Amino acid sequence: MSLSNEYCVIGLGAFGSALGMELYERGHVVLGIDRNEVIVNKHQDHLTQVLAADATNEDALKAAGMVDYDYVIVAIGDHIEDNILVTQTVLDLGCKKVWSRAENQRHASILAKMGVARVVDPELEAAHRCARILASRSVLDFIEFSPGFSLAQIIVGPTYSGKSLKEIGFRTKYQATVIAIRRQDESIPIAHPEDVIYEGDVLFIAGKTEAVEKIERI
């Protein structure tokens, strides 16, 4: 069974194009829409399909088959009014999951009230991510990939070296799960309670954000 999804990214600016190309490189079907034909032509070889169209036009979105996509991401960032109009149109068409980019807190509040699945603030999320990494000596990366749920890469210090995951008790003590381990000479893609970790190993830990944040402060 294929694990790929179908995505429609509306607005191929810096954020939308980077998002679309990353999804495409990961093996997903991606339709990119932008009103600027020059931008659209640049993405012909980097997305599954591209379409030059005015996304504020409901008929154009219907013709593009919006409702057939697993996710629709409204990535328009330079015109808030257009972003809101397109977001509402996509919601009215009955698209399954709609994400929309916000430019400020007021904009985010409006989108949330409209009922989008997720409001995206690229700059704010990047700032939070950088702050978590900079504030900790052990965190290599930190991603909140859904509201209240995060994945962190944390390097093992001397305290836990030589102990098994079961001995440390991540699940019982921190309500978080070590899902994989990376070390210099090998990688363990699926971690088990009996696996022993050593100083310098990188743990991939998933759980509620507040739980993962407690681990990063150890």
pLDDT digits (tens, 9 = 90+) for 142-176: 877 666 788 889 899 888 899 999 999 888 888 88
The rounded distance, in Å, linking the Cα atoms of 149 and 176 is 10
* Residues 49 and 27: beta-carbon distance below 8 Å: no
- Residues (pLDDT < 70) of the chain are 1-3, 128-129, 132-137, 145-147, 216-218
Which residues 6+ apart lie within 8 Å of 71 measured at CB?
5, 6, 7, 8, 96, 97, 98, 99
CATH code for the structural domain at 6-120: 3.40.50.720
pTM of the model: 0.68
| Domain 125-216, CATH class in plain words | alpha beta
The pLDDT value recorded for residue 132 is 66
Q: How many residues does the chain have?
A: 218
Strand pairing category for 196-197 and 202-208: unpaired
| Contact status, residue 137 vs residue 216, Cβ threshold 8 Å | no
Q: Provide CATH 3.30.70.1450 ranges for the chain.
A: 125-216
Instruction: Give pLDDT, residue 1.
Output: 37
Angle between helices 105-114 and 80-92 in degrees, nearest 10: 10
Which residues of the chain are in CATH 3.40.50.720 domains?
6-120
Average pLDDT of every residue of the chain? 88
HSE of 140, CA atoms in CB hemisphere, 13 A:
12
